[in-house]
A and B are shown apart, each in its own frame.
Chain A
Amino acid sequence: MSLIETTLQKLDVPAEQLDYAKTGIHARLSITSDQLQKICRTLKAAGFFLETITAVDDLAEGTMRGVWFFDHYSESSRLQIVIESSRDNTVFPTIGMIYPGAVWHERETAEFFDITFEGSKDSRGLLLPLDVTFHPLRKDFKRPKHQIAGIH
């Protein structure tokens, strides 16, 4: 029983095992956004560390997929949590209070994909200048010709 299965056993959540050799991911979890914080608490208790938070803007299916990666120090077990949501005004719960390191990842993903992480105490952008209004990593992002307010 891998570390992921033992940890997720208590939560009766469908973990889909993946072929690690081909994808580098041990298990994937497709859940809805209200289960996220509960799962993250059990993962944190089991000693998983947060690798990264990102999103994939799937134009073909018209969905915005939030992706969370967790791994463990003692035994290599990369767990990918995926939450599907609509492309515009997507809202994901924050896990900033469970994993303090998640705040930056969330700020960056929010800034690039126009996602709001509700409950996060720091909604500033991270990498882009503070007064930027466009979201570069969305697939429908057109390179702005002076889109910044005040420049003509």
Chain B
Amino acid sequence: MFESQIAPTYHLEPSEEQESDFILNLGPQHPGTHGVLRVILHMDGEYILTADPVLGYGHRMQEKIAENMTWAQVLPYMARMDYLSALSYNQAWVCLVEKMCGYEVPPRAEYIRVLTTELNRISSHLLWFGAFLLDLGAFTPFLHAFEDREKLLDLLETITGSRLTYCFFRFGGVGADVDATFLRETQEFLDQMRAHLPGYHELVTGNVIFEHRTKNVGVILPFDTSGYGLSGPVLRGSGEAYDVRVKEPYSIYPELKFNVPVEQTGDCMGRYLVRLAEIDESLNMIDQILANIPDGDIQAKVPKIIKPPEGEASMAVETPRGELMIYAVSDGTKIPYRVKYRVPSFANLSIFSKMARGQLLADALAILGSLDLVIPEIDR
């Protein structure tokens, strides 16, 4: 369409740029940024003076695309924003439209939705676990996490048809039913996962080098959390027990018994422990779902062309990275008038420049890894 001929020249006000400084480009193509994030680091030796993320390398103007598509056609684009937890995004969009149009979802479909979303949360945390350890220099945990995640992706592929970018939920239900073999395989996965989790803790959590690399590194003070609008494990690592599944319950979460893991330290180790505890919580939730999944049909009666009544609405959902809120304005036609995606990684990254000040380069990468960022979600 158009290319910007002028390279983004980036210059600080003269006052900030001393002569002795050493400007380092972390990204946009760098093993540590897991995506096209560019951070301009102003370094003094190995210590970072200022860090300024430059965004937009993966920007596709999702919100304008949503203004050219019908309500149903926007669903596949949801999976392209946060490809690690596409089902949470599916759920947010589908619940939003159901809330606006007032469709009822049959209970079995709700159970299948939460079952697949929690499996998706585990697969997202497993990938984060591997990537975080890769940032700290350990190669093996990545492969161990993928050993389990592979089984999970195969499992989800049997009913959704895709491994990463799911387009599985439908307005008023789900795309496909769950049969006995799927439930048996899920149980097998749960047992394998529970057998492997202690191995993760032995290999990593106790490790003295890992402790030195993560303990009180990148501490987020409770004072800052509301200033930057943090959410998800990044927030729960600093002592705030805010989880959208508990605070604004949707779908069948009120019927499931699960507690929200919280750490008080607010450092990389705290966020790490919160996410591993969340894998346990999700496993328990799936147990409860497998135990009492009701029978019945999986798709409510829904008109062919979806036309939500005029007005606006918002839907908040807990993705593995935090609170995703979609705010949509409808003018009664089959095309959304305005859609705004409030993405968790956007807020979680905005605190990075404050946290990276004065840290070592190695710590800055540990912090970036512990924030569990998905860059296409930030760039939208």
Contact = CB atoms under 8 A, between A and B. Distances in A.
Physical contact A–B (CB less than 8 Å): yes
B18 interface: no
A145 to B, nearest CB: 8
Given A51-B325, A54-B340, A78-B314, A144 B346 contact: no
Contacts of A74: 242
B35 to A, nearest CB: 14
B56 A127 contact: yes
A101 interface: yes
A97 to B, nearest CB: 11
A146 B1 CA distance: 8
A150 B5 contact: yes
Interface stretch (B132-140, B166-174, B225-233, B358-366): B225-233
Interface string A46-77: 01111110101100100000010101011110
A56 B338 contact: yes
Given A24-B315, A78-B316, A151-B2, A129 B380 contact: no
Given A56-B338, A101-B347, A147-B2, A24 B9 contact: no
B327 A49 contact: no
B110 interface: no
Category for how many chain B residues contact A: 35 or more
Interface in B289-328: 311-316, 323, 325, 327
B325 A126 contact: no
B228 A23 contact: no
A52 B9 contact: no
Contacts of A150: 5-6
B354 interface: yes
B118 interface: no
Contacts of A38: none
Interface string B227-259: 111100001000010100001100000000000
B99 A76 contact: no
B313 A104 contact: no
B61 interface: yes
Interface in B346-361: 346-347, 350-351, 354
Given A52-B342, A73-B240, A101-B227, A22 B347 contact: no
A93 interface: no
Nearest to A28: B312
Contact of A67 (B9, B230, B311, B327): B327
B215 interface: no
Contacts of B242: 73-74
Contacts of B379: 127
Contact of A54 (B225, B316, B327): B327
Given A76-B248, A100-B227, A24 B99 contact: yes
Given A23-B312, A73-B226, A104 B327 contact: no
A146 B350 contact: no
Given A73-B240, A101-B350, A128 B2 contact: no
B181 interface: no
Contact of A137 (B64, B230, B347): B64
Contacts of B226: 44, 47-50, 73
Most buried by A among B229, B235, B340: B229
Interface string A121-151: 0000111111110001100010111111011
B213 to A, nearest CB: 27
B313 A22 contact: yes
B276 interface: no
B307 to A, nearest CB: 16
Nearest to B227: A100
A15 interface: no
B127 interface: no
A144 B346 CA distance: 27
B314 to A, nearest CB: 4
Nearest to B244: A76
A5 B169 CA distance: 37
Contacts of B316: 24, 71, 78
Given A54-B327, A78-B314, A147-B2, A126 B350 contact: no
Given A49-B225, A101-B347, A130-B9, A69 B325 contact: yes
Interface of A: 21-25, 44, 47-52, 54, 56-57, 60, 67, 69, 71, 73-76, 78, 80, 99-101, 103-104, 112, 125-132, 136-137, 141, 143-148, 150-151
Give the 3 A-B CB pairs with smallest separation, nearest first: A101-B228, A49-B226, A129-B4
10 contacts: A22-B100, A56-B329, A56-B337, A99-B227, A127-B59, A131-B8, A137-B64, A148-B4, A151-B2, A151-B3
Given A50-B229, A130-B10, 4 more contacts: A22-B313, A73-B226, A101-B350, A112-B63
